[in-house]
A and B are shown apart, each in its own frame.
Chain A
Amino acid sequence: MQMAPPSDHLSSLSDAALMQRVAKMDAEAFEVFYDRHVSSAYALAYRIVGSRQPADDVCQEAFLSVWRSAARYDANLGNARSWILAVVRNRAIDHLRRVTRTKEREVADEALAERHPAPQDQNTESTALRNAQAGETRELMNELSDDQRRVIELSFYSGYSHSEISEMLELPLGTVKARMNRGLARMRNVLSPGETA
């Protein structure tokens, strides 16, 4: 299928304005939205599922889901970028659960670490320069202790519940909850100085 590039006019619209058009099934507006966010969506999907084909599948499902549900989008409740990324995350975690958890969560911690290398081990200095938000997130994660980062990554990027993490790491559930709370509070304090924990 030959696809003509979307008009400049559409490309200058905000996400909220694009979503209003997408809600009326404007395919061109959707294409602009897609082009604007697919790289981030794909990076997130890949971060979670760890390989190309599932990441493609996750992104396809997520973008089509947004296309078909755009009329339900309310800009007052959150921005569209967060919305598509949250949908991608959900689909990616669903994929992980389907693929890797049919044996009652037997995925070894080591295997997880292999599948999801910790951000601090990645050479992303140039990435941080090119992608301010992602770089900021990386820096945020580096604000955390190893223990805090571990429980946050296992939950957010691998989809494990706190009780599963408790079992996996052989830690009391209260410890896992506390690490999550403290880690997120620390990140929030960096992002929004002045907020109270």
Chain B
Amino acid sequence: MSTDDPRDLIGAFVLGACSVEEHAQVRAHMKVDASFRAEVESFDVVHDALLEVPTTLDDVTPGVDLKRSVMEQVQAEASLFAAASTGERAAIVSRQEVPAPSAPRASTEAPRGTGAPAPSPRRNAFMAALTSPARATALAAVIVALIVGGIALGGGGGSDVREVNGQVTPVAGANATVRMVVDKDQSRLKLSGFEKAGTGRKYQVWLKSGDAAPKPTTVLFDVDARGNGTATVPGDMKGVDDVLVTSEPESGSQTPTTDPVLHVQI
């Protein structure tokens, strides 16, 4: 965690330009220092102003199909909802069971990745109680959509950061371990006890989806003398099933030239 004065970070925090650690630092300080919180929140008006951009620039208008496609989806989900029984509707609407959102303000908008609802026992029971497979399927689709919406919503609260333990191969080192912190915007591999990649070589991160060949990333790194290393993988891990790391020439490769030293199943 940064040791900077949190006040130095207010601007970056409001603009969504902090690192994850700095964001957490500011949030933590807001909880314990009311005047600091007030100062941060005094910039909400600026954040809201920045969101307002001219709407009548030449040719910058919503496409004609945009409303139709949005409303078709909305009306389809509303129809499914209407077809549900009263109890079922109550269960769907009771989305407040998920962790309550924090304010949809600048301070919660960056970094994003907040708002992962835990599975709801009530919702699970509701699903189990459904007797009509067709209706269960339809309602399940709605509920999944609702939950996904809650997860993906940038302004939501809670946290969808999760940590996954990976597997290492013997070549990585006798005591090697790896964990991956998966967040919405970026993920971080944390290695310990690894052998160095080798002279003129770097570790390279690969992303694998299904049975497709691993796709190269430009993330190249090495561990330090104690075998510890961190690699930040930008972007959303949506659609990625596995993260692999191989030792490659220091400029990186387009296809893996060695066997993976680690494997993290997302």
Decide if B130 is an interface residue (CB 8 Å cutoff). no
Q: Which residues of B contact A35 (CB under 8 A)?
A: 67
Partner of A59 from B18, B66, B219 at Cβ < 8 Å: B66
Q: How many residues of A contact B (CB 8 A)?
A: 95
Indicate if the CB atoms of A56 and B185 lie closer than 8 Å.
Answer: no
Binary interface profile of A, 46-63, with partner B (CB < 8 Å = 1, else 0)?
110000110110011101
Indicate if the CB atoms of B56 and A130 lie closer than 8 Å.
Answer: yes
Main secondary structure of the interface of A (DSSP, over half): helix
Tell me the residues in window 86-124 of chain B with beta carbons closer than 8 Å to chain A beta carbons. Answer: 89, 92-96, 98, 100-106, 109-110, 112
Smallest CB separation, A121 vs chain B (Å): 12
Indicate if the CB atoms of A163 and B19 lie closer than 8 Å.
Answer: yes
Tell me the residues in window 115-138 of chain A with beta carbons closer than 8 Å to chain B beta carbons. Answer: 122, 124, 126-128, 130-131, 133-138
Tell me the residues in window 13-67 of chain A with beta carbons closer than 8 Å to chain B beta carbons. Answer: 23-27, 30-31, 34-35, 38-40, 42-44, 46-47, 52-53, 55-56, 59-61, 63-67
Smallest CB separation, A71 vs chain B (Å): 4
Smallest CB separation, B58 vs chain A (Å): 9
Tell me the residues in window 70-124 of chain A with beta carbons closer than 8 Å to chain B beta carbons. Answer: 71-74, 77-78, 82-83, 85-87, 89-91, 93-94, 97-98, 101-105, 122, 124
Indicate if the CB atoms of B63 and A56 lie closer than 8 Å.
Answer: yes
Indicate if the CB atoms of B148 and A85 lie closer than 8 Å.
Answer: no
Among residues of A, the one whose C-beta sits closest to the C-beta of B95 is A71
Decide if A191 is an interface residue (CB 8 Å cutoff). yes
Among residues of B, the one whose C-beta sits closest to the C-beta of A139 is B49
Complex Cα distance A91/B152, Å? 9
Binary interface profile of B, 50-63, with partner A (CB < 8 Å = 1, else 0)?
11111111001111
Complex Cα distance A123/B52, Å? 16
Q: Which residues of B contact A135 (CB under 8 A)?
A: 54
Q: Which residues of A contact B51 (CB under 8 A)?
A: 40, 44, 82, 85-86, 89
Cβ-Cβ contact count across A and B, 8 Å cutoff: 262
Known contacts A38-B67, A90-B109, A156-B15: does B153 contact A69 (CB below 8 Å)? yes
Complex Cα distance A127/B54, Å? 6
Partner of A46 from B45, B60, B72, B94 at Cβ < 8 Å: B60
Decide if A155 is an interface residue (CB 8 Å cutoff). yes
Indicate if the CB atoms of B235 and A98 lie closer than 8 Å.
Answer: yes
Decide if B156 is an interface residue (CB 8 Å cutoff). yes
Complex Cα distance A182/B46, Å? 12
Indicate if the CB atoms of B105 and A77 lie closer than 8 Å.
Answer: yes
Complex Cα distance A169/B1, Å? 24
Known contacts A177-B11, A188-B45: does B17 contact A27 (CB below 8 Å)? no
Known contacts A47-B53, A152-B15: does B219 contact A63 (CB below 8 Å)? no
Complex Cα distance A165/B63, Å? 33
Decide if B77 is an interface residue (CB 8 Å cutoff). yes
Known contacts A63-B70, A195-B42: does B63 contact A72 (CB below 8 Å)? no
Partner of A192 from B42, B102, B150 at Cβ < 8 Å: B42
Indicate if the CB atoms of A24 and B93 lie closer than 8 Å.
Answer: yes
Complex Cα distance A184/B71, Å? 37
Smallest CB separation, A108 vs chain B (Å): 16
Complex Cα distance A184/B106, Å? 12
Among residues of B, the one whose C-beta sits closest to the C-beta of A138 is B54
Indicate if the CB atoms of B234 and A64 lie closer than 8 Å.
Answer: no
Query: B residues near A, CB below 8 A?
Result: 8-12, 14-19, 42-57, 60-63, 65-75, 77-78, 81-82, 89, 92-96, 98, 100-106, 109-110, 112, 145-146, 148-150, 152-157, 184-185, 217-219, 234-236
Q: What are 12 A-B interface contacts by the 8 Å CB criterion?
A: A25-B77, A40-B55, A55-B62, A56-B65, A71-B93, A87-B153, A93-B16, A97-B235, A135-B54, A155-B16, A156-B17, A185-B11
